[in-house]
Every structure is written in C-alpha cells, then in structure tokens.
Structure 1
Amino acid sequence: MSYARPTDRAGALRLHLNENTGGCSRAVIEAIRQISADEVAYYPDYTALLRECAAYFGVTESQLVLTNGLDEGLLALTVTAFRLKHASPGLPEAIIPTPAFEMYSVFVNAAGGKVVSVAPRPDFEFQTREVCDAVTDRTRIIFLTNPNNPTGQLIPRDAIREITRGTPSDVTIVIDEAYYDFCGETFLAELGGHSNVVIGRTFAKAHGLAGLRAGCLIGDPARLAPVRDAVPPYSLSVFAAAGWRAALRDREYLDWYRAQVIESRELLYAACTRLGLPYWKSAGNFVLIDVRKSGEPGEIVRAFAERGILVRDRSRDPGCAGCIRITAGVVRHTEIVVEALEGLCAVP
C-alpha cells in the first residue's frame, strides 16, 4: 500500500487535509524571520525546544522524542517494534482498528510487517474486544487513534485500559492523539503505569505547523531509546525548531483557533440536520458526512472542487460508504462550504 496524495488545486479553499485553515500564528512567522544566515548554515541545536516542549506536556525530557512531523515518529516506532527479538516465526504483525489514518498501513508495509485490520462496528462503536482478540504471538504494535480519523469518534478510556491489560508488555501500543487539542482527551496522565504505551502528538493541526513538520512521541524512556537511535540526529530544520518554540508560547492563538473549530463543527452539524444528511459528531477539526442521499461521494467532491473548495472522499474507508470528510476550521471558511453543501445536497 502507498499513500495517494489527494488532488490539490491552486487557490482553492483547503478543507480536505484537516489543516489549520487560519495558518500559523504571527509569532511563528516572526520567529522564522529572525533566523540568521549562520543559523541556516549550521546544524540545529534542539536543547531549548526539547526543554520547552517537555514543560508544555508536563513530562521529562527523557520521555520525549522530537520528530519531523508525527509521521516520522510513527514510522520509527513501527520499525523498532518490529526489530525486537521474538521467538515466534512469521512476519511481525500490527493491529489497526479501522477506519484509520492510512499511513499506519504504509509504515507497516515499509517495515516488512503484516497489517491485521479490525473491521468497524456499526456506527463506529469502538472494537475493544475485537482488538484484544486479534493479539497473537506475532503482534508487535497496536495503533489506536484518539479521536479517530476520519470519524472523529473518541475511544472510551476504559477501552484503552482493557487493551493495555490484555496486551503483553513487549507489544507497543500507540495512542495517536493528533487531534487532542480539539477535545482535551488524553491518556497522558496514566502513561506512568504503562511502559509499553507511547502517545503521539502533532503541532500540524491546531498550531498550524503542517508545513514545518513538528511532531513528537511521549513514553517510557526505555521504550523510546531505540526510537531515539532510529531518528536522524538533525531531522528537524532550524525553521521548524524556531517556529515550534514560538507556537508553544502563543496560547492565545491556540485558544482562538480551538474556538473557531468548535463553532465550525456546530455550523456543519446544523447544515447536515437541515439537509437530512447523516453525520457523526466529531472530537476533531473535521466532520464525517454521509452524502449518499444526494449523490455519489466522488461526484460531490468533484462538484465542490469546481466551486473552489477541496473536501475529502472517504467512501472507500471501512464502514464509511457514501461519506465525505470536511475540515472544520475558521468560521468564515465553514460558512462558504456550508453554502456549497446546501447547493449540492439541497432537499428536493
């Protein structure tokens, strides 16, 4: 499996990749402008960024690995989980409850492992028992996305606890909290009691640093040691390091964007209700909508594109037949997409 980049269009309203539609904060741009020619010429020093990022999360520096986007961290985590010596023969396995972020399967295949998909339940109720039952002697890593992408559904805390109890300690359990900033739900406070659990965070979404590539892994120092060895020593650019530090300090911008997302989600819910379109309330910065009553999802996505709006066709994801996903970001952008949605999916 390889990742298929969604179709882009210059000048279009980008509501297809769950990016921050307001951009990054001005403090980030100013920090990048202050970088000198010498700093560009030298390999970066991450000491201050590591210290400030650890303080931001309330963890020690040894519990944190900074990565060039969360993707780099998840790939390194997969590779190192598969490298651990086990007596059982056969390909190492990764359990992925679906639907899921498609890059998990890409990482597993790149690392030479086997994907064990767990089919979705009706209405995306989390598959706790099925995940536990899928664990075998060949299981090396389990990917949990909280909240889920593309559904926006949260995994109940008790479900995560049950999975950690039923999984051998040498199996890495990844909790991808890429959308934490939009819901506040995290397993971070319970991390100390689970040495095989690693939390992934990104600054691409709420902080608007997708173009700088800023992510990290949080976990037990011993579990992260092989990951630290696998990540290149200078994988973060000097621009990413400077912008990241500025983003950490600008809580006002983060609060503003969170409020925009909350209001935008409500606008999308209200539009779907008026149009009679099934949807799922989301804990992320996006909403999954079933548009089958109005037409074929691919055609509707193309119709949005003709109006200068990019949204994502998720109808091929397990359990997502007929669905598209729309980013909920800046309110004025959401008002534009709602107007288009009403034009394309109007009740006859």
Structure 2
Amino acid sequence: MSTPTSKVTVKPRRLILEMPEYHPPLAGRDNALRLDFNENTLAPSPVVMDRLKQIPAERLTVYPEREPVERQVAAHLGLPSNQLLLTNGVDEAIHLVCCAFLEPEDEAIIAPPSFFMYDVSISMMTRHLVKVQADETLQFPFERFLAAINERTKLIVIVSPNNPTGATVGRSEILAIANAAPHAVVLVDEAYFHFHGETVLNDLATTPNLIVARTFSKAYGLANLRIGMLAGSPELIGYLHKVSSPYNVNGVALDCLTAAIEDDAYITWYAEQIRIGRERMMGGLDELGVHYFPSAANFVLMKIGPLHRELVAAMRKRGILLRDRSTDPGCDGYVRITIGIGEHVTRGLEALKASLDEIGWKSEF
C-alpha cells in the first residue's frame, strides 16, 4: 500500500488550533487500586449487574431511545421530563452547554483550579475565558468571581464540590451569582453531589438561568458506560436538545441507568461509606503530618511539595494509583487521593505511610 506524500493543507477553525488538549493519564491502570480518578472503587449496584446480564442480543441491534429513560430519571428527581437531558457523561454536557450558548465574542467565567474540560470546551467556542484564580486556601473566590461578571458574560461555571480541591460553594452564593447575571447561563456542576448532599436542583423553578449537571459515573459506578445529565428550565433544556444527538447515550447505559436509580439503598450505603472513609483519610493525614484541604467529595487533595512525583511512583509500586495535580493552577506539589470503601481507605493509608517513609518525605508541621 502506498504512503500519501502530499502535504495536508486543510486546517480547522483557528480556535481549534489554539485550544488546549486534555490527556488524562489512563494507561497502565489494570490490576491496581484506583485511587486516582475519583471513580467508584467497588462496583455498581448488584441490581445493575443483574440488568446487564438480562439484556438480550437483539437490543444491541436497535438505536437507543433516550426519552423514556429521561422521564424516569426526571421523576426520580422530582422534575418534569422537559427539564432534563441525558448526556454522554458530564464531558458532553459541558460541550453541549458551550455549543448552545457561547458566541465567539462572549465571555465565560470559571474559578481555577477546576475540571480541565471547561477550559477545553469553552476555548473551542470563544477566546474570552475569564479565570478567577482561587487563593492559597483553594476556597471559591466569591467576591472576586462576582466582580468579574459584566455585560459580555454569557456562561458562568460553578463546580461544587470542586475538583480537585473538594471545596464547596454555598447555595446562597450560587443564587447571588445567578441573580447578578440574568443575561448569562449559570452552570452548576454537581458531579460529587452524593458525597456532599447540598444542591440547587430545587431552585430551577425560581432561577431561570440556572442549569445543573450531574453524573452517574461517581456514586453510581457507571463511569465506563458514560452517562450524565443536565437539568434546567424547559427553555434552556430545549436549546440543549437542539445541539444534542438523539442517540448520544447508548442503549446499554440507558438500560443500566433505569436499574441504578431504582436502588436508592445502594447509593445511600456507598455515599455513607465515602463520608466515613473521608473522615478516616483526613484523620490519617493529620497523624502523618500531611497538609490537606478539607473535602466534601470522594477525594482529598494533599500538599506533598517537591516529592510529589516520587510519592505517586512509590504508591504505584505498591499497587495503588494517585493523581498528581501539580500542573493545575495553584496546585504545584499537590497530589489527590480518591476515597473508596473502608478496606480501600485502609490500604491507601498504609501505603501512604510506607511510601512517604521510602521517599524520605518530612512534614512541614
């Protein structure tokens, strides 16, 4: 077969050339305890596994029907069905919001450090990404964030609990921001809601510019199936329907999701496991003299300092994966550890102690 020799002259849009890329370190994760990507560290509900085994072969030959499952999920959340859109994970949810609401001249506001896919999807649509950096406490910079809103602001992103910090934004602050910018869409990312318990989902009826994103990857343990959701006013969700493919969520994921939302007992149990494990982890870090940031999510961000790479490598040798967050703005020397079920927290803490000793790390306290 001949090799093409002509040079490709076709170029994408200029913003595509300029936008950042996201390359999560996913390679080599088999046969290790996954405390790096904030996944469910155990399994989805047994009800989900039963449903998966019952899917007949012919179901794989038909296009998926999303709307019946949207009605079920909306009812489960106490929402009308026209206020919810299922998406291919929160990644697609972010992309759809940016496509639907951002013009090239518009501004969007985020508060780094935060989920990098916001940088990617916003930069795909506009050069005017305004970043209100958190200070050394890594708490949400409410006053400076509010002051950054102007007439060109079209999209405001608030992540609560935030990734990678675990910090939260209070409901009163979120609503104050939404009320200060009625001309902008306020996207509230509640991917880690189940480990925190506070939401603005009930404020959709009175705050028409609010959109809430949720995922079924974390507490529900469906990360591999790629399914998330957006909730908002019928008008905003209608616009998002226009830019969404009707087949964006695969049928296996839809079938499994209907089973997952039926098992509230499993989600309650798993979320409680995480809350208990989170307190154990933070207590263990106190004993080790490791500075960390209090978290309301299923992870804790630790300040390791110059030996951050060495710690990640030492933990990998012990079969445990951590996520080095040092390239995030304001996070030089920081490493994130996911909270799992009890036995996984125990393994994580034991390996941390051994790894810190191995690399010669000394507490600053």
Instruction: Tell me the equivalent position of 2:21.
Output: 2
* 1:60-103 C-alpha deviation (Å, 9 max, x unpaired): 001101111121111001111114xxxxxx63221111111111
More deviation, 120-129/325-334: 120-129
Instruction: Tell me the equivalent position of 1:336.
Output: 347
1:179-328 equivalences under 5 Å are 179-292=192-305, 295-328=306-339
* Structure 1 counterpart SS, 2:221: coil
- 1:55 equivalent in alignment to 2:75: yes
139, 144, 149: which is aligned to 1:135?
Answer: 149
The code of the aligned residue for 1:149 comes to N
Q: RMSD across aligned C-alpha pairs, in angstroms?
A: 1.5
**Mapped contact 1:128–1:162 kept (Cα < 8 A):** no
Alignment TM-score, normalising by the size of structure 1: 0.93
**Mapped contact 1:22–1:257 kept (Cα < 8 A):** no
7, 20, 23: which is aligned to 2:43?
Answer: 23
* 1:26-81 C-alpha deviation (Å, 9 max, x unpaired): 21121122112221111122343112101111110011011111211110011111
* Structure 2 counterpart SS, 1:345: helix
| Whole-Å separation in 2 of the counterparts to 1:264 and 1:3 | 30
The code of the aligned residue for 1:261 comes to I
| Whole-Å separation in 2 of the counterparts to 1:50 and 1:111 | 28
* Structure 1 counterpart SS, 2:204: helix
- 1:105 equivalent in alignment to 2:105: no
Percent identical among aligned pairs is 37
1:19-98 equivalences under 5 Å are 19-83=39-103, 91-98=105-112
Q: Which runs of 4+ in 1 moved over 6 A?
A: none
* 1:165-211 C-alpha deviation (Å, 9 max, x unpaired): 211x2311100000000111101122211111100011100000101
The code of the aligned residue for 2:226 comes to R
* Structure 2 counterpart SS, 1:122: coil
1:110-129 equivalences under 5 Å are 110-129=124-143
**Mapped contact 1:271–1:342 kept (Cα < 8 A):** no
Q: CA deviation at 1:272?
A: 0.7
The code of the aligned residue for 2:340 comes to G
Tell me which structure has the larger Cα radius of gyration: 2
More deviation, 127-136/274-283: 127-136
* Structure 1 counterpart SS, 2:213: strand
Instruction: Tell me the equivalent position of 1:87.
Output: none
* Structure 2 counterpart SS, 1:181: helix
1:73/1:138 CA distance change after superposition, 3 Å: same
Instruction: Tell me the equivalent position of 1:170.
Output: 183
1:223/1:47 CA distance change after superposition, 3 Å: closer
Structure 1 unpaired stretches of 5+ = 84-89
**Mapped contact 2:94–2:117 kept (Cα < 8 A):** no
Q: CA deviation at 1:7?
A: 4.3
| Whole-Å separation in 1 of the counterparts to 2:73 and 2:354 | 45
* Structure 1 counterpart SS, 2:295: coil
Q: CA deviation at 1:137?
A: 3.0
* Structure 2 counterpart SS, 1:189: helix
**Mapped contact 2:107–2:126 kept (Cα < 8 A):** no
* Structure 2 counterpart SS, 1:123: coil
| Whole-Å separation in 2 of the counterparts to 1:125 and 1:308 | 32
Alignment TM-score, normalising by the size of structure 2: 0.89
More deviation, 267-276/118-127: 118-127
Q: CA deviation at 1:116?
A: 1.1
| Whole-Å separation in 2 of the counterparts to 1:161 and 1:121 | 22
| Whole-Å separation in 1 of the counterparts to 2:105 and 2:289 | 46
| Whole-Å separation in 2 of the counterparts to 1:99 and 1:112 | 20
**Mapped contact 2:66–2:246 kept (Cα < 8 A):** no
| Whole-Å separation in 2 of the counterparts to 1:338 and 1:8 | 24
More deviation, 111-120/192-201: 111-120
| Whole-Å separation in 1 of the counterparts to 2:131 and 2:314 | 32
Instruction: Tell me the equivalent position of 1:148.
Output: 162
* Structure 2 counterpart SS, 1:225: helix
